[in-house]
Structure 1
């Protein structure tokens, strides 16, 4: 329990010094009031206990101690603390301006790492709780409707796989699509650069959009 609290303290202190576009507020799960909790749920920011895979991996101990969420004022930059990985750093916004989203993420990561060095291995890259995130740890995703390609989920997944992409539900792993919207992201995170991972997602999505438009 002490390690969770220590980690939260270090991270929240670091995040409180964020400036400019990244300036925001940290919300600890412990003692969170109902209004704040509901707002974070409405914004699709709040993560929850109960994932059976995380429970099986013993990742939910002492819940909600040491867990929390940070977001900037514009709600385009988030950090999840001790949800699964020690840190999950998120940059997002509506629209297709991937360059702006990526640049914001790079700025944030560099700022955090200058004060909290990340665990890194020369062979495996950045070390994370989830083995599939080893390497860059970079998941670049878009929420998109592809109604023609998605008539058959299996067909959609097979098409995505050709571009090294993964199809998930709107709220990520082990969730379903909501309103015909899917989360599509890069599948590879090991053996390529962060920029390449993002570019792979962008190129694949563009090809899938072309296929959607060409479908009868």
Structure 2
């Protein structure tokens, strides 16, 4: 795959403070959004084509992490539908149309994707829903208008067999989330890939395809997720690496981001969502986490990790 020019991501604590109102915003305000994408992803938006690849079978590793270090993982993929505004600018009527489409799509899937649809009112009344409980809108959703008319037409599809849910009308029209309590992110990725492609096929028959633009890939509301819409994360115990003086440089070279939590447990995520295919992003994350664990073991033994630091990205 021919890759456009990439630049290094200088600040791994950076976040995106804007969202688009619809897909056309990325065209009308390209000078603004292209700069945001470049600053956040270290990726220069050009006329080159963004590629997509859900062939999870070619992913190497992801099911062989040391369980003593990995505490869980999650794969999220967001999608938006043609002819509808994004949740930031979505009218009540549009939102209800989107929910009706989701109901029809999941109903048509039948035994291919068995599950249960819950309205947000039903979800908020449940004390626990397999870790997917959503009680109230976040401050970000309130500020950006995503929570307008809350909880009207917000819902979640909970799969019967797979550890997978699909959020409807939250931060994007659809968000597929697969979580694993163990270290098998390859299984989570396979689950999302399989069901996402089934759902996409049904939406095409309903004449509402997912939004795709050649130079941006899959287009969603946040510039932080355009390209693939993929955000994968692995919770790893890295108490020594979290305090290492070269951590930021190491993360940049591994092309991952990391948030440190209490007790040295860190959440490692893919740094970019554009410029790579879905499988390539997962491979970068898997390889990066393996290297971080190797470094952590060296530090535990009071050994140097200088020889393990990649020479370049």
Give the TM-score normalised by structure 1.
0.83
Q: Which structure carries more relative contact order (alpha carbon 8 Å, separation 6+)?
A: 2
The 3-state SS of whatever aligns with 1:142 is: strand
Call closer, same or farther: CA 1:100–1:147 in 2, change over 3 Å. same
Task: Show CA shifts across 1:38-60 (max 9, x none).
Answer: 122xx321234342333222211
Aligned to 1:38: 127
Aligned residues: 204
Question: 1:29-178 counterparts in 2 under 5 A?
Answer: 29-32=120-123, 34=125, 37-40=126-129, 43-74=130-161, 76-116=163-203, 117-151=209-243, 156=247, 158-168=249-259, 177=261
- Contact 2:234–2:269 (Cα < 8 Å) also in 1: yes
What is the CA–CA distance in structure 2 between the aligned matches of 1:205 and 1:38, rounded to whole Å? 33
Unaligned stretches of 5+ residues in structure 2: 1-91, 204-208, 303-313
What is the CA–CA distance in structure 1 between the aligned matches of 2:147 and 2:255, rounded to whole Å? 31
Aligned to 1:173: none
What is the CA distance between 1:125 and its match in structure 2? 0.8
The 3-state SS of whatever aligns with 1:83 is: coil
Determine which structure has more spread, i.e. the larger CA radius of gyration.
Answer: 2
Question: 1:182-201 counterparts in 2 under 5 A?
Answer: 182-201=266-285
- Contact 2:163–2:180 (Cα < 8 Å) also in 1: yes
Task: Show CA shifts across 1:48-83 (max 9, x none).
Answer: 434233322221111111111112124511111111
What is the CA–CA distance in structure 1 between the aligned matches of 2:257 and 2:105, rounded to whole Å? 33
What is the CA–CA distance in structure 1 between the aligned matches of 2:107 and 2:266, rounded to whole Å? 33
Pick one of 93, 108, 112 that aligns with 1:2. 93
Unaligned stretches of 5+ residues in structure 1: 170-176
The 3-state SS of whatever aligns with 1:129 is: coil
Call closer, same or farther: CA 1:44–1:157 in 2, change over 3 Å. farther
Give the TM-score normalised by structure 2.
0.59
